[in-house]
Amino acid sequence: MTTVEPRIHVLSIPTPFPVGPVNVYLLEGEPLTLVDAGPLTDEALEALARGVRDLGHSLADIEQLVITHAHHDHFGLARQVVEQSGATLLSFHQNRPPLEDFETWWAQRVAFVAEFVATEGAPGEALADIEEMRGFQIYASSVPEITPLEDNDEVQMGGANWRAIHTPGHALGHLCFHHPESQLLLSGDHLLRDITSNPVVETPRVGMRRRPRSLIDYKRSLRRIRELEVSKVFPGHGEPVYDHRALVDEILTHHRERGRLIWGLLKAKDRTVYELGLALFGRDLRGVELFLVMSEIIGHLDVLEVERKARRVERDGQATWTAVN
């Protein structure tokens, strides 16, 4: 048996977000596959079409589009790609609500985030800023239907058999794709070299009351990826990663230190998540940045709560966190 070495090309697609450009991957071979698509903007669509054309194809030739996770910068153009090519669209089954009914899902998500930051101590002025997230609706649109993937599914992309690996944490329905024979990993935003992947607070799953504990999920997913034999990682942003185990260890150490710092702040006095943010960053935080910081802190508090080192007390819709010794 000969090993098929996948032919992978990276296309750098501009985004209107602070994260900068997103990596879209074109995998040549049967079926001709795009992994992620970029945000829904004219500039991104033009860059995507040009990038595909420079490689000797056209958007109309794309046979399959695979979405790693349901964030605007990755799936925003999915509908345009599918409409122009008739490509099959694959993503994790949990991404059905955001992908197939994006507008409803996004409105619910912003409402959830507004309630989360209010309950966890953000003042009224900061709350108004969360409303700016509502406007992000323009950077994506719903797709007609996805072909749902499960954890460990085999997916044929670019002439090779890849394994889908459910890696929740940065996003609930996040998938990485591993090709064991060539030790390649398409990591989406699960493993990034230059940016800390945020364990974004998630809306509760359908039929569940509690939100997922994103940082706990994320750390578990990192350990799972660490076990894989990987010689090169193709991330959703930035340059490739060659030593994924060292990077995973570095991220886990960073989170451990952060958790310890937050525990120390709580031991000094009870605080809300917002107050912890002020103490950690030493300045007022606003808008999306506020949400991301509060996401990270609640992630650490989830860990401390599970370890019985911290406790959440909610009174009249206001939560305070307290250290348990």
Site string for Zn ion, 244-283 (x = CB under 5 A): ----------------------------------------
- Do 228 and 185 contact (CB within 8 A), yes or no? yes
Q: Name the one range near Zn ion by CB under 5 A: 121-129, 221-229, 234-242, 293-301.
A: 234-242
Nearer residue to Zn ion within complex by CB, 69 or 271: 69
- Do 144 and 82 contact (CB within 8 A), yes or no? yes
Residue 206, both tokens: 């359908």
Residue 272, both tokens: 């809300």
Residue 74: CB minimum distance to Zn ion, A: 6
Question: Residues 69 to 88: which contact Zn ion by CB under 5 A?
Answer: 73
Residue 161: CB minimum distance to Zn ion, A: 26
- Do 309 and 324 contact (CB within 8 A), yes or no? yes
Cα torsion at 252, 303, 292, 256 (round to 10°)? -30
Residue 323: CB minimum distance to Zn ion, A: 34
Q: Name the one range near Zn ion by CB under 5 A: 81-89, 111-119, 233-241, 304-312.
A: 233-241
Residue 284: CB minimum distance to Zn ion, A: 26
Residue 19: CB minimum distance to Zn ion, A: 6
Nearer residue to Zn ion within complex by CB, 169 or 236: 236
Residue 142: CB minimum distance to Zn ion, A: 19
Residue 275: CB minimum distance to Zn ion, A: 29
Q: How many residues bind Zn ion (CB under 5 A)?
A: 3
Residue 38, both tokens: 């970029």
When asked if residue 120 is in the footprint of Zn ion (CB under 5 A), the reply is: no
Site string for Zn ion, 175-214 (x = CB under 5 A): --------------x-------------------------
Nearer residue to Zn ion within complex by CB, 75 or 263: 75
Nearer residue to Zn ion within complex by CB, 197 or 203: 197
Nearer residue to Zn ion within complex by CB, 51 or 259: 51
List of residues contacting Zn ion (CB under 5 A):
73, 189, 236
